[in-house]
Amino acid sequence: MKNFLIVFCVALALVSCKNEVAENEVVFVPRDFNEVEIGLILRDSSLNVRAIDIIGKDELLYATSNGQFGSYNYDSHRDNYWITPPYLISIDSIKFNFRAVASTSTAAFLLSIGSPAYVIKQGESGKEIVYQEDHKKAFYDAMAFWNDKEGIAIGDPTDSCLSIIITRDGGDTWNKLSCDILPEAINDEAAFAASDTNIAIVGDETWVATGGGASRILYSPNKGETWEVFNTPIVQGNGPQGMYSLDFYDNKNGFAIGGDYTKPADSSANKIRTADGGKTWQLVAQNQNPGYRSCVQYIPGREAKELVAIGFKGIDYSNDAGDSWRHLSDEGFYTLRFVNDSVAYAAGSKRIAKLTFR
């Protein structure tokens, strides 16, 4: 009887402790955005922007498809924002088509598609070509940095694997990974240069989204030293199909979106989600809007519940991890990045804008 009383008292104490924790626990309550305010930053009939990056608190870098580069920043002395109009990156009369931009604390890096493919470093000492690839199949799609020294860019296969180049010295030199250490590409598997969001990074972990003949996830746990590949159930099998954009909230929760840009209303199998770090993926919101979108981003600080998807057919919002979506606007953009939990920058054809969600 004595032992029974001891066990009973311990159990009672544990239950009481659990109840106390439950009573004091802060329960996450998703918001319910109903509208988005679109504030134009720059409008230009020649503007075509698929490459943006946020540095510092809220400074925006952008690069255009006709070889221009610019920024949008807050001037604390004037308590106002100012924009650097796009200026042409000119090196030896080369015509650049930028689809990706990334930055360290000391320089910006611009990635040009097509052959030859170029990485341009824009720093305090000016601009220079730090990587050039002349292969006739060269076509790079996205770029990101793990830290100030180490970065990655990905592109379509020129051999039997996806093209991946890596820097370990702050972007001064880039080296292409051998297909010996990369998963073999499936026939017609490549990537899309639609929004510079084919790469997701959390700490040392990296996820790369492919599309076309196959749409899979290439995963590295160690900043590109080793790689493995995971299948996905998203629509795939021919040129315009597959993942166009990928984001991870943490190293477990990720979301990808895409579809077929030639069939933008098709929503049958264009949204997928993972909760195990990309090893397995599930289709969500099947046959529900949105259809094709070129970019998806988690809203920061919202427990992997709130996302925004964007494309040339409009802007959509989810507050239940992608199970359902609300269409907020028909205004079309190609890409966006959040600066806080209600403000983002977006860019597309002929314009760059600041989006405020309410």
Q: Is residue 4 part of a domain?
A: no
pLDDT digits (tens, 9 = 90+) for 112-149: 999 999 999 999 889 999 999 999 999 999 999 999 99
Q: Amino acid letter at 260?
A: D
Residue 15: pLDDT band (50, 70, 90) is very low
> Which helix (H) or strand (E) is 9 found in, with range?
helix 2-24
Residue 82 lies in a domain: yes
Select from 192, 203, 350 the least CA-distant residue to 262: 192
Q: Is residue 18 part of a domain?
A: no
Q: Which of 139, 103, 114, 120 is nearest to 337 (CA)?
A: 103
With H, G, I as helix, E, B as strand and everything else as coil, classify residue 17. helix
pLDDT bracket for residue 81 (50, 70, 90)? low
pLDDT at 125: 86
Q: Six-digit token pair at 253?
A: 């929760």
| 108 part of a folded domain | yes
pLDDT band at 10 (very low <50, low <70, confident <90, very high): very low
Q: Is residue 20 part of a domain?
A: no
- Looking at residue 292, what DSSP letter applies? -
Residue 110 in any domain: the answer is yes
pLDDT for residue 75: 57
Q: Which helix (H) or strand (E) holds 161?
A: none
Read off the pLDDT of residues 193-211 as tens digits, 9 standing for 90 and up.
Answer: 999 999 999 999 999 999 9
What local confidence, expressed as pLDDT, does residue 23 receive?
59
Please tell me whether the overall predicted TM-score, pTM, comes out greater than 0.85 for this model: yes
Residue ranges making up the domain that contains 45: 31-357
**In-domain check, residue 9:** no
Tell me how many domains the chain contains. 1
Whether residue 177 has pLDDT greater than 50 = yes
User: Does residue 255 fall inside a structural domain?
Assistant: yes
- Single-letter amino acid code for the residue at 186: I
Name the residue with higher pLDDT: 156 or 17: 156
Q: Provide the terminal-to-terminal Cα distance of the chain, rounded to the nearest Å.
A: 62
Express each pLDDT in 241-257 by its tens digit. Answer: 999 999 999 999 999 99
Q: In what order do the strands lie in the sheet with 326-329?
A: 295-298, 307-311, 314-318, 326-329
Looking at the DSSP assignment, which residues form a beta bridge with residue 48? Answer: 349
Cα R_g (the chain), whole angstroms:
22
DSSP 24: H
Residue 2's pLDDT band (boundaries 50, 70, 90)?
A: very low
Tally of CA atoms within 13 A in the half-sphere of 164 that contains its CB: 31
Tell me the CATH number at 158: 2.130.10.10
Asked if 144 and 152 count as a contact pair (C-beta separation under 8 A), the reply is yes
Interatomic CA distance for residues 325 and 265, integer angstroms: 14
